[in-house]
A and B are shown apart, each in its own frame.
Chain A
């Protein structure tokens, strides 16, 4: 097995598959749905069960997939699933179980246009679904938003680190364009999968029977009949979320230092907006881009600092303004905020953003 980096031309989806094997994941469980099927297809083609020993299983539904990673994560294994919009809706059943039972697991969401079956074209209309969840109870999922193929690959490693560190479900929120486009991707060297002994040592909470004779049984359950006990468990979870908010916020600042106008965008929309920034900078406009990398926890402080300094902000999304609400909340009305977006699978071009931002600049 190769132990070094390898540079390939890959789709975002393919990069995630390669990365899962190389970062030492123990299992993938998923169901086909456009535009993310290349993840399962690539894993099936690469046959990691013959090399690293990673399990790959095509499940009977997204409901089954999420239960598979719930159980796998509960047993201390490092597992992931992937799907798109409506498939992620089906997974909402068990994501809260993972949150409250503190089960690590990675969910890759490659968004398409909605609502409902919608389109198979790229969209960002599942921001609410990822950040605010569709499951029940007071829970969060740590959400990472890649904007390139390389970042899709790297985030699999980051997600593994975060989900094991915080014992929480982590979501990579990609979309049809990041998933389907090809870019140069430098794959990481192989990290060996953990041995049973390492799992026993690193995950003493795991429900895998290992060392049972010397300890109390481990149980993953979200059920409590006593509401006071359930409140205590909730409070413990919220305390963990506070620590995640303090430690795990990530955002990229692109030419914001001297900017008078800052665009806020994530994922594929941020890539397009970056083109606008380049183009408008060439014409002497002082504009910049803030790209949230973690959507939960959200870079509230970055937004507030910029909002207090710039003349205006523009949020660009491939939806009807979902992250916009979070930006508005974080900015505390320190500056005017406009919105540019498309939905249903219609994408955006740098020209359109440039044109609209140009109009805002001339008004301002």
Chain B
């Protein structure tokens, strides 16, 4: 069979972002992280800010984000990324400073740093992946685990008297004077990916313009932790996560018309 090479610049309609390298990702099939990584890389390239960007990785599945996106990164201790971000923004006021954190990192061990940083109004962006579980350590209960949801540390399902309630940290963040933009997005459908992309871009613009803190929550899946196929995970997210964590802007003080 004759093959035709169609790879020529005029034919390219979609490509891997320039700031993403060829390292094989460690993420499980169906995981939301890889999609969000790609969005971040694309937006940074688009904004042309790579020489004034510092990313801060969490402890959790995104701990190795620095392997995939070619910018300068700092790997923070568990939960402390926002404190790092506050310091960096004050020391480098013209830089784009963002953290990339999971639910355990941001809404549990790092709650103090998250709330205090957002409330200081430091113009940084927090990208918050909420998959309602501790993925990296093997599927334990997270602060955002839904009621009745099973994990290895609530194997009979989360119940209030034993485990308390799932934390809507973005709703708290929206009440803080220091935040200018708090939004909840998802990457389970193409439409949602587009909206999430727009939200991250908005947050990064806010950070560069010095408008205050931005928090972009992305409701995501963890097919390995949820013990489902990627497809089932997306469906489960739509059926169970989104009713408790509804999508849309929780706060937007920026006139972006």
Contacts and interface: CB of A to CB of B under 8 A. Distances in A.
A207 B77 CA distance: 16
A217 B72 contact: yes
A71 B72 contact: no
Contacts of B75: 219-223
Interface stretch (A53-61, A164-172, A282-290, A335-343): A53-61
Interface string A65-101: 1011111101101010000000000000110010000
A157 interface: no
Interface stretch (B29-37, B87-95, B148-156, B185-193): B87-95
B74 interface: yes
Contact of A77 (B52, B53, B57, B91): B91
B83 A217 contact: no
Q: How large is the interface on A (under 10, 10 to 19, 20 to 34, 35 or more residues)?
A: 35 or more
A63 B83 contact: yes
Interface string B58-102: 000001101000111111110010011111101110010000000
Contact of B80 (A26, A67, A206): A67
A67 B84 CA distance: 6
B69 to A, nearest CB: 8
Contacts of A221: 57, 66, 73-75
Given A209-B51, A209-B71, A217-B66, A75 B77 contact: no
A289 B43 CA distance: 63
B56 interface: yes
Interface in A207-251: 207-213, 216-223
B28 interface: no
Contact of A79 (B57, B71, B73, B87): B87
B113 interface: yes
A27 interface: yes
Contacts of B84: 67-68, 70-71
B90 A57 contact: yes
B205 interface: no
Interface of B: 50-54, 56-57, 63-64, 66, 70-77, 80, 83-88, 90-92, 95, 112-113, 116
16 contacts: A27-B91, A59-B116, A60-B112, A64-B86, A69-B87, A71-B85, A75-B92, A77-B91, A207-B74, A209-B53, A209-B72, A210-B52, A212-B50, A212-B70, A213-B50, A217-B70
